[in-house]
Amino acid sequence: MLKVNAVPALSDNYIWIVSTGDSARVAVVDPGEAAPVVDYLAEHGLEIAAYLITHHHGDHVGGLASLLADHPAPVYGPAAEADKIGNIDHRVAGGDRFTLDFLGATFEVIDVPGHTLGHIAYDTDGVLLAGDALFRAGCGRVFEGTHDQMQQSLARLRALPDNTRVYGGHEYTQKNLAFATTVEPDNAAIGAAIADVDALRAGGRPSLPGTLAEEKRINPFLRWDDDNVRAAASRHAGRELDDPGEIFGVLRDWKDAN
C-alpha cells in the first residue's frame, strides 16, 4: 500500500508526499511552496523522483520551479493548463495512464473541470489525489467552469470504489462540516465526522484523508440525489429542484455565501 504524508504549506494547503515507505524516492503532489518540501526531504532522507500537478493555481505550483532547480525530476500535469504552469514534460489528460516504477503504481488521470477548466485528479490503488476538486466534506469553488461541469466531475469521482482515500489540497474540513450540518442537521454521520475531525485537529493532525464511502454519507456536494439534500436545496432556492447540476449549483452558491 502506498504511503501518503502531508506537508503543511502556506496558510492551509497540503503538499502530499507519496512513497512506498521502503524507498527514499518519492513523488511530490502540488508543491505550492518549496521550503516545507525541502525541509521534509532533509528530515527524512528522501529524494524527489516525480512531481504530480493537478491544476495551475499558484498555491499548488508556486514552489515547483524552485524545487526543480535543486531536485530535478519528471513533472506530470494537466495538458490543458501546461502553458500556464510551465515545466511540465508529461502532459496528461483524462483517460491517460502512466506508471511510476519507483512506487510500483499505475496512475489513472481523471478530468475534473470546474474549479479550473483543465483540473485533473490522479487515482491509483485506492488513493485519489484530488487537488481542489474534492475535499473531505466539501469541494472546490467553481472559478472557471460551470456548476454542471463541476457536478459531472464529482460524479466521476463518486463512482470510484468506496475504500478510496481522498487526498484534497486544503485543510477545510471543519468549515465544510459546519456547512454540511446546515444542509442536513439530522445527519448522524456528519455529527460523527465532526467529533473525529475535531479530535484530529486538536491533536495537530490533518483531517485528511477521508474515504469515498464516508464522503457519500456526509458531503452535500456528492449527495445531490439524496432526498434530504434535494429538499434542503429546494427550500433554499425557493423552488422545487430535480436536476443534479442545478441542485449542486444551489448548494455551491449557498456555501459560497456563508
d(CA 46, CA 204): 23
Please give the pLDDT value at position 173.
98
In b/e form, how buried is each residue of 74-92, taking b as 16+ CB within 10 angstroms?
ebbbbbbbbeebeebebbb
CB 166 within 8 A of CB 211: yes
d(CA 123, CA 79): 17
CB 125 within 8 A of CB 169: no
CATH number of 3-256: 3.60.15.10
- Please name the residue that has the C-alpha cell 504549506: 9
Please give the pLDDT value at position 21.
84
| Whether the bond into 209 is cis, omega within 30 of 0 | yes
CB 69 within 8 A of CB 19: no
Per-residue pLDDT of the chain (258 residues; tens, 9 = 90+): 899 999 999 999 999 999 998 899 999 999 999 999 999 999 999 999 999 999 999 999 999 999 999 999 999 999 999 999 999 999 999 999 999 999 999 999 999 999 999 999 999 999 999 999 999 999 999 999 999 999 999 999 999 999 999 999 999 999 999 999 999 999 999 999 999 999 999 999 999 999 999 999 999 999 999 999 999 999 999 999 999 999 999 999 999 998
d(CA 140, CA 90): 25
d(CA 112, CA 130): 9
- Which residues are identified as catalytic? 55, 57, 59-60, 115, 132, 170
Please give the pLDDT value at position 258.
86
Cell of 76: 506530470
Cα-flanking dihedrals φ and ψ of residue 9, to 5°?
A: -145, 155
Cell of 211: 474515504
Tell me the whole-structure pTM to 2 decimals.
0.97
Beta strands in the chain (DSSP E): 3-9, 13-19, 25-29, 47-52, 75-78, 90-92, 97-100, 105-111, 120-124, 127-131, 134-135, 138-139, 165-168, 210-211
Spell out the domain ranges in the chain. 3-256
